[in-house]
Chain A
């Protein structure tokens, strides 16, 4: 199985959240199939960039934001653009 690049991992995470929202962090970690340290990095990055948001309180749940949906929408365009120009 080929190694996933950064953009693909982000897409996979967002896709899982889209299909299972709202989702708790632990089930999300299990489904993304990456190490917990890397997952934490990506999780914080996605929160920081406002691709996802988490509910406050006892049970933290994660949902997609508008930007997250947009990323999923534009993912193929981004990948095709990068491949086309070999960036």
Chain B
């Protein structure tokens, strides 16, 4: 037969001591408040870091794109063309990525689709599409001499669109 165990008197004594001691209580509140504020600052620091990180990536990518403009205009070399385009698309992808991050932070959500369904899907689609195209152009800038078929670029764009549509509509969690 089950019998209840006697209350732990030691625990009660400690609780009474705790609540009778205002200094200890104050210290506990200060610690918890400090922790809360610290965590709050870390969260703000996180989004601030994200913005700075995205800004650096976008600026560097655009510097490469505009910096190689003269070289391309003079030579019309296809490798340089695709190399430039990849960094342009990287800049655009990171622009949309930072936009999504800011929206998520503002609304304190994990998925942009829950905040703005249609607009969120479009933004996600554009981000995924630009990311895939940027990677394709970077690889193709090195491989263009081997694969000279005209349809490769069109095929890459169509594939990127299909993948972007699938990822956007399937609800697959996109890690930004």
Contacts and interface: CB of A to CB of B under 8 A. Distances in A.
Interface residues of B, number: 14
B74 A81 contact: no
B167 interface: no
A67 B74 CA distance: 8
Interface stretch (B54-62, B75-83, B90-98, B118-126): B75-83
A87 B141 contact: yes
Given A87-B141, A87-B142, A82 B80 contact: yes
A7 interface: yes
Interface stretch (A23-31, A34-42, A52-60, A69-77): A69-77
Contacts of A74: 70-71, 74
B44 interface: no
B23 to A, nearest CB: 66
Contact of A82 (B74, B76, B79, B82): B79
A19 interface: no
B68 A71 contact: no
Nearest to B79: A87
A31 B75 CA distance: 22
Nearest to A10: B75
A47 interface: no
Given A71-B74, A81-B71, A85-B79, 5 more contacts: A7-B75, A67-B74, A78-B80, A85-B142, A87-B141
Interface of B: 68, 70-71, 74-77, 79-80, 82-83, 141-142, 144
Interface of A: 7, 49, 67, 70-71, 74, 77-78, 81-82, 85-87
